[in-house]
Structure 1
Amino acid sequence: MDCKYIWTNGKLVAAAEAQMNFLTPATHYGMAVFEGIRCYRTAKGPAIFRLREHIERLHRSATILGWRELPFSVGQLIEACQETVRANGHEECYIRPLLYLGGGGWNLNIDNGQAHVGIAVWSWNAYLGAEAAEKGVRANVSSFTRHHPNVVMTKSKVAGNYPNSVLAKTESVRLGFDEAIMLDTQGMVAECTGENIFIVRGNRVMTPPEGQILEGITRDTVMILAREMGLEVSAQPISRDQLYTADEVFVTGTAAEVIGLREIDFRTIGSGRTGPITQKIQQAYHAAVRGELPRAAEWLTYVPGR
């Protein structure tokens, strides 16, 4: 990874110096929350997409996990992300803030531990492959079920939640697929291992409701853009067989952006390539993140000094 400097607990240090002690409790118990954010090259310079919303969700994740007080405010972390991008000299990059249990808490009580924060940035290639946007990818319905919200709360990006996604993704890749689709505990479609999922039927775009999913910021962006394009958008329960008979299926996430699924469980979806509605949403999303839509002004935080 081409990360030269990491912001840690209020200051930038060389990446090689940003080390964790073996006895950092977050690595033993998964007690950490994080965000995935992207900075894009625009005509006005590097701009971070929906930065405030991501940092606000980071704070909410920490609250859900149980922290009562945090060492840095939303405003301070927004500035820290800008500072880290600027220091590393990136025009486009992925940004990873991590808030973690840095000391104490060995008795499994978060009140006895200290919260630490780090921010790293690095260049990011196509998450699901270089040809994924045009051709779409293959997926299967995983044998692993998405977490129940009363087991590990699903509205928080807790590091300890992600073995669920790792198990599903690894299984699917070993079976020859690109991504896994996870069902909720009622057997309805929830989300993929790192993306939210949508289906298209005619002029309607549908996505699973908020119950057991992570409410993705890219998901929210796409729903807004799709409505502005005149499409009917709804959040409603989706069954597994509705995936097979959809005109189009696509997934959304900060890393993946907007990617069509051309095949699910050996069943061809639509034409077997990224469909026309998905393509229009892809184009609108790519224009938004690069400041080419009027609405983008409220979504972009520019990196000063670059």
Structure 2
Amino acid sequence: MYYHENTVIYLNGEWVKAKDAKVDLFSQTLHYGYGVFEGLRSYATPDGPHIFKAGKHFERLLESSKKLRLNIPYSVAQLVELSYRLLKKNNLNDTYIRPLVYGGQNMALHPSRQVNFMMAAWEWEKYHRNSQLDVEISDYRRPNPLSCHIDSKLVGQYTSAILASAAARAKGFDEALLLDADGYIAQAPGANFFYEKNEVLYTPPEGNILPGITRAIIIDYALELGYKVEEKLFKPADLHQADAAFFTGTATEVSGIRSIDGKRFKLEWEDTIGYSLFLMYRQRVMNKEIQNFNLV
């Protein structure tokens, strides 16, 4: 699914076939989840593949790596250039790109001296293929911000996300919605959350969420269209009178939510602000207008 016989990845300064790549079984990341990653999307345009907001993603990768003391010897510009070379070597256009920074051999609980960097790409459809999601508010919580850098894409903190998603799907839901440590709505396992009420959009503030790059784009689009956006804390009960809701993320893009805990929202997806933003997002990343955005 993610690679085939001729797939090429970038690993520690070399281009190697994915099938031949080796990872140390005593890697600190494998045992303790000590690493950082990013997710980027490339879209086919009349001028060739363009990686949406590549610079923003690689800036966050380097900032996250620095926070974990897993420094890699690359600049943002170098990483952007490598990502385009990766696409060319694999003859990919519409694709998902995954850079990963991970530790070397070290069973001690202090940062590994060896730091590894890998980047791969594969064809991956929109993560939530169904635009009408049935969502469960999970019993699992987002990590406490005092326990780790939850504003970064840390490998280990996705354990609770996997468990929350698996539990929700076992009950027949499409996805989970996690609360923060204080019981406020936070985000989905891999996406940010918005709800709509009386033509105003509400989304959790930074602090207990990953402040997603797509989240910021959607806020800008909503303001451009003249809608009001409020970043505020809210509890599950606040969603009872909501008109609609949706998720945003690089892999998710913009995905509408039909119901939460079995309670359907008032508006049909096609009649919501979220749907208008979904159309705006897709049009701008797929067509020539993409060139109006900062791609690097």
Give the TM-score taking structure 1 as reference length.
0.91
Q: CA 1:165–1:2 in 2, change beyond 3 Å: closer, same or farther?
A: closer
- Give secondary structure in 1 for the equivalent of 2:147: coil
* Counterpart residue type for residue 110 of structure 2: N
Per-residue Cα deviation, 1:115-166 (whole angstroms, up to 9, x for no partner):
110000000123122xx23xx1100100111110111220111111110101
The residue that corresponds to 1:38 in the other structure is 41
Picking from 62, 73, 76, the partner of 1:74 is: 76
Picking from 51, 55, 59, the partner of 2:58 is: 55
The residue that corresponds to 2:121 in the other structure is 121
Aligned-pair identity in percent equals 34
* Counterpart residue type for residue 123 of structure 1: E
Aligned partners of 1:216, 1:273: CA distance in 2, in Å? Answer: 22
Per-residue Cα deviation, 1:29-71 (whole angstroms, up to 9, x for no partner):
111100011001112211000000000000111122233x422
The residue that corresponds to 1:13 in the other structure is 16
- Please say if 1:300 is aligned against 2:291: no
- Please say if 1:165 is aligned against 2:161: yes
* Counterpart residue type for residue 73 of structure 2: P
Aligned partners of 1:16, 1:2: CA distance in 2, in Å? Answer: 11
The residue that corresponds to 1:148 in the other structure is 144
Assess if the C-alpha contact under 8 Å between 1:71 and 1:115 holds in 2.
no
* 1:229-244 correspondence to structure 2 within 5 Å: 229-244=225-240
- Please say if 1:245 is aligned against 2:241: yes
Give the TM-score taking structure 2 as reference length.
0.94
- For structure 2, the residue ranges without an aligned partner over 5 or more in a row are none
Q: Figure out how many residues of one structure are paired with residues of the other and give that number.
A: 293
The residue that corresponds to 1:108 in the other structure is 109
Assess if the C-alpha contact under 8 Å between 1:262 and 1:274 holds in 2.
no
Assess if the C-alpha contact under 8 Å between 2:269 and 2:275 holds in 1.
no
Aligned partners of 2:182, 2:25: CA distance in 1, in Å? Answer: 39
Assess if the C-alpha contact under 8 Å between 1:261 and 1:274 holds in 2.
no
* 1:265-304 correspondence to structure 2 within 5 Å: 265-271=261-267, 273-293=269-289, 296-301=291-296
Assess if the C-alpha contact under 8 Å between 1:260 and 1:274 holds in 2.
no
Deviation at 1:277, TM superposition (A): 1.1
Q: Which consecutive aligned stretches of 4+ in structure 1 deviate over 6 angstroms post-superposition? A: none
Assess if the C-alpha contact under 8 Å between 2:9 and 2:18 holds in 1.
yes
Deviation at 1:73, TM superposition (A): 2.1
Deviation at 1:300, TM superposition (A): 2.7
* Counterpart residue type for residue 212 of structure 2: G
Deviation at 1:2, TM superposition (A): 5.1
Assess if the C-alpha contact under 8 Å between 1:195 and 1:252 holds in 2.
yes
* Counterpart residue type for residue 113 of structure 1: R
